[in-house]
Amino acid sequence: MSLKNDSDYNYANNDNTHQERRARRMALDALEQNSHESLATVWKDLPHRFRIDKEFVLQALRSNRALPPKSEFERSFPQSLRFDRDVVLAFTARSDFRELFNERHLYPPECLTKDKEVMMAYCTQIPRSLQECSEELCDDRDVVSAAIALDGLELQYASLRLQEDRDIVVQACQGDGKALEFCPPGPVRDGLVKDRNFMLSVLRQHGGPMLRLVPNNLKHDPELLLEALKHGMRFRYCPFEYQSDKAFLIKALAHRSELYIEFNPTTQQDVDLCKAAMVSESSTPLVHKRVLEISPQLIQERAVVLALCQRGEASLMKQVIIESEHAATFQDDEEIMLTAVQRNCKLFSYASARLKQNVAIIMAALDAESAADVLAAVGHEALRQAPQIVVRALQVYPRRHLRLLRTH
């Protein structure tokens, strides 16, 4: 080849290199800019060679914009990129990594499960990541501490050495009291379960069932028992003398009304316990149904009706307000009707004439469907004295029908 031809070849080659560098720079700038154009659109317009280029992948991951769909992004990566340490760490550094993990199943590559930095990034954000770690990392205090800070139950995946480490066990129990179960029997656990204050904190962290691990003298401690029942311990594990202690049971129901369903049939017949279960702030429709099957007369009591309005099944609440023997009394009770109307604004029509002038109840009854009927039922004087009623009605009523809204 002549000198001239060599010169022409080198010039053309340099020109191509320059064009390629310019194209790369422009494409990277497009990924970096926070324009109105979505990252998915920019990514789709890139040449294929850039979409499998590590520099471009990292630039996209470092952007604060939503990533392209999985089918157009990581699924098209070569294996070298999917398992690349920098790429994996860039994924974990994103603020939306938890959502991406769940949506795209971004499990750590097996080749990186021995990498402390990678697995720390997972353990601090994704529950149960410790079980993906290598045996060496499961015995690493930093990694285990990071994992149990996210979820105390991660202790189950730690090494036996760290499961028997008092400080690690205490930290795990601060996140979830049930983690104590993963501390093997031995001196550490024996010392912890004898510590009343420690066990009180364990029980309060959803660790009610852990009361079975304490010595016998603490199993009869009423404060510990109440905390255990409140946080998940089954009633059948309660010492026998407390299963028939009415005062204790009323306190327990105040914390967790569903315990009533676990009582034996004889205990369930006690009217005071029935009422305690009904009016408990933790009462549920299931508890209401069971109690009223056994003690239907309670439906006449104000506190029981108020509990139904607050937490009961909507159909039962409506039935009591409209059809019960004492319906007229309840319909003239301000607290009961306000609570009922807040849950079902149509019940406003059943309120007494007196309460239909009550501003709080009127305001609670206003929504897109009911506003016209409510205003029609409210006197002009009430609207004049409380203009906020009209303002609220105008806010909730569909604009296309405003001409039909009559405000006297």
Residue 29 has pLDDT above 90, yes or no: no
pLDDT digits (tens, 9 = 90+) for 38-96: 888 889 989 999 999 999 999 999 988 899 999 999 999 998 999 999 999 999 999 99
Q: What is the pLDDT of residue 17?
A: 78
Q: What is the DSSP secondary-structure string of 167-192? A: HHHHHHHHH-GGGGGGS-TTHHHHHH
Q: What is the pLDDT of residue 12?
A: 47
Mean pLDDT of the chain: 89
Residue 212 has pLDDT above 90, yes or no: yes
Q: What is the DSSP secondary-structure string of 212-271? A: GGS-HHHHT-HHHHHHHHHTT--GGGS-HHHHT-HHHHHHHHHH-GGGGGGS-HHHHT-H
pLDDT digits (tens, 9 = 90+) for 283-321: 999 999 999 999 999 999 999 999 999 999 999 999 999
Give percent of the chain with pLDDT exceeding 90: 72
Tell me phi and psi for residue 205, to 5 degrees: -100, 55
The one-letter code for the residue type at 6 is: D
User: What is the pLDDT confidence band of residue 11, given thresholds at 50, 70 and 90?
Assistant: very low
Q: Average of pLDDT values for 213-238? A: 95
Model's pTM, two decimal places? 0.78
Q: What contacts 195, CB < 8 A, 6 or more positions away?
A: none
Q: Average of pLDDT values for 2-9? A: 49
Rounded Cα–Cα distance for residues 274 and 209 (Å): 25
User: What is the pLDDT confidence band of residue 383, given thresholds at 50, 70 and 90?
Assistant: confident
Q: What is the pLDDT of residue 64?
A: 80
Give the CA angle between residues 43, 49, 50 to the nearest 5°: 40
Q: Average of pLDDT values for 215-231? A: 95
Rounded Cα–Cα distance for residues 344 and 367 (Å): 10
Helices 246-255 + 271-279 axis angle, to 10: 20
pLDDT digits (tens, 9 = 90+) for 129-147: 999 999 999 999 999 999 9
Q: Average of pLDDT values for 343-353? A: 92
